[in-house]
């Protein structure tokens, strides 16, 4: 009989047709918008800056500034000092303290603000940071590949108490080099607690990134909390390391921005840091690879 060979395709067609369902995705409903915080109190005298923006459409390429944010202030819980903040770059969400102040080691700072008539708060404690003893660089040229790198190194002594966390910023001619979080260096002292590190490798510059003969190079070592360390790790995993067939399911990035009115908590992180820094002069090396007119001014 020939009927059997037509039955299975017919059944498959019916099953597939019955499973069809239209799914409408809502990427950015106004009710789902959440406030996003970027801010850090530093132990240097000056204007303290916090940025408040809104979450936006997945495909959006613009900044959605926190226009609905009000009553922004920093409270030093230990001393009771209150520092009011005002928006200075309208449209980009930057709020600056109305008076200069420096963060104090051991103090806990509380960011408070109102967003869409709901009260938010975040707390961060400022921990001390060890001093950088030295900062230097070495130029390494690979003759076989006609390519060179400027590798930088730092030296410091980690405190004997365990649980220290560090984040590093490096500036090339006063321009922040590690603008992308995935390209930044951060670490804990689990493998070197209490030791003195000599010529610990930090950032490396490709020869084509050094376009001037004489350059100013500055590195900053910031103390960060364990919570911020975990936040940075999770942020990199969810934005840079996910998407392969071996990756786990997406997960929320932790945040310390709490909504005191409802369960619609904020995104981002509010931090406090002490800074140790060193500055050196980097002299450009000239050879057949670094004299490439395509990359030099």
Structure tokens at 220: 């900053």
Residue 153 β-bridge partners? 136, 201
Residue 137 β-bridge partners? 152
**pLDDT, tens digit, 9 for 90 and up, residues 81-119:** 999 999 987 778 899 999 999 999 999 999 999 998 999
Q: Name all domains of the chain by residue range, CATH numbers in brackets.
A: 30-128+231-273 (2.60.40), 132-221+276-283 (2.60.40.10)
Distance between CA atoms of residues 107 and 214, nearest Å: 40
The predicted pLDDT at position 56 comes to 73
Q: Is 144 exposed, middle or buried (0-12, 13-18, 19+ CB in 10 A)?
A: exposed
The predicted pLDDT at position 286 comes to 84
SS (H, E, C) the chain: CCCHHHHHHHHHHHHHHHCCCCCCCCCCCHHHCCEEEEEEEECCCECCEEEEEECCCCCCCCCCECCCEEEEEEEECCCCCEEEEEEEECCCCEEEECCCECCCCCCEEEEEEEECCEEEEEEEECCCCCCEEEEEEEEEEECCCCEEEEEEEEEEECCCCCCCEEEEEEEECCEECCCCHHHCEEEECCCCCCCEEEEEEEEEEEHHHCCCCEEEEEEEEEEECHHHHHHHHHHHHHHCCCCCCCCCCCCCCCCCCEECCCCCCCEEEEEEECEEEEEEEEECCCCCCCCCCCCCC
Residue 293 phi/psi, 5-degree rounding, is -65, -20
- Digit-by-digit pLDDT tens for the chain (297 residues) are 555 555 665 555 555 555 556 666 555 556 678 899 999 999 999 999 999 988 877 666 666 665 578 899 999 999 999 999 999 877 788 999 999 999 999 999 999 999 989 999 999 999 999 999 999 999 999 988 889 999 999 999 999 999 999 999 999 999 999 999 999 999 999 999 999 999 999 999 999 999 999 999 999 999 999 999 999 999 999 887 666 656 667 778 999 999 999 999 999 999 999 999 999 999 999 875 544 443 443
The predicted pLDDT at position 80 comes to 95
Dihedral class, residue 28 (left if φ above 0, else alpha if ψ from -120 to 50, else beta) = beta
* CB of 134 closer than 8 Å to CB of 200: no
CB count in 10 Å sphere of residue 95: 24
The predicted pLDDT at position 145 comes to 86
The predicted pLDDT at position 176 comes to 97
The predicted pLDDT at position 294 comes to 38
* CB of 218 closer than 8 Å to CB of 278: yes
- Provide the terminal-to-terminal Cα distance of the chain, rounded to the nearest Å: 82
Q: Is 18 exposed, middle or buried (0-12, 13-18, 19+ CB in 10 A)?
A: exposed
The predicted pLDDT at position 252 comes to 83
CB count in 10 Å sphere of residue 203: 21
């Amino acid at each position: 009989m020939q009927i059997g060979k037509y039955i299975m395709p017919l059944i498959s067609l019916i099953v597939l047709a019955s499973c069809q369902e239209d799914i409408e995705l809502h990427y950015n409903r106004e009710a789902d918008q959440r406030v996003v915080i970027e801010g850090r109190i530093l132990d240097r005298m000056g204007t303290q800056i916090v940025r408040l923006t809104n979450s936006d459409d997945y495909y959006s390429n613009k900044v959605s500034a926190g226009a609905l944010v009000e009553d922004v202030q920093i409270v030093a819980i230990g001393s009771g000092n209150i520092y009011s903040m005002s928006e200075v770059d309208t449209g980009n969400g930057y709020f600056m303290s109305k008076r200069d102040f420096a963060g104090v080691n051991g103090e806990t700072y509380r960011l408070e603000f109102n967003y869409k008539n709901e009260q938010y708060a975040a707390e961060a404690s400022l921990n001390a940071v060890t001093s950088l003893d030295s900062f230097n660089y070495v130029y390494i040229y690979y003759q076989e590949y006609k390519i060179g790198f400027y590798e930088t190194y730092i030296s410091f002594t980690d405190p004997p108490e365990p649980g220290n966390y560090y984040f590093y910023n490096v500036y090339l001619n006063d321009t922040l080099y590690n603008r992308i979080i995935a390209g930044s260096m951060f670490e804990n002292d689990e493998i070197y607690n209490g030791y003195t590190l000599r010529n610990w490798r930090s950032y490396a510059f490709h020869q084509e990134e050094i376009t001037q003969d004489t350059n100013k190079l500055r590195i900053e070592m910031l103390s960060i909390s364990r919570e911020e360390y975990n936040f940075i790790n999770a942020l990199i995993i969810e934005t840079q390391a996910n998407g392969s067939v071996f990756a786990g399911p997406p997960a929320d990035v932790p945040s310390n921005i709490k909504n005191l009115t409802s369960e619609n908590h904020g995104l981002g992180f509010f931090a406090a840091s002490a800074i140790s820094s060193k500055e050196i002069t980097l002299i450009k090396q000239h050879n057949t690879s670094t004299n490439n007119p395509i990359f030099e001014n």
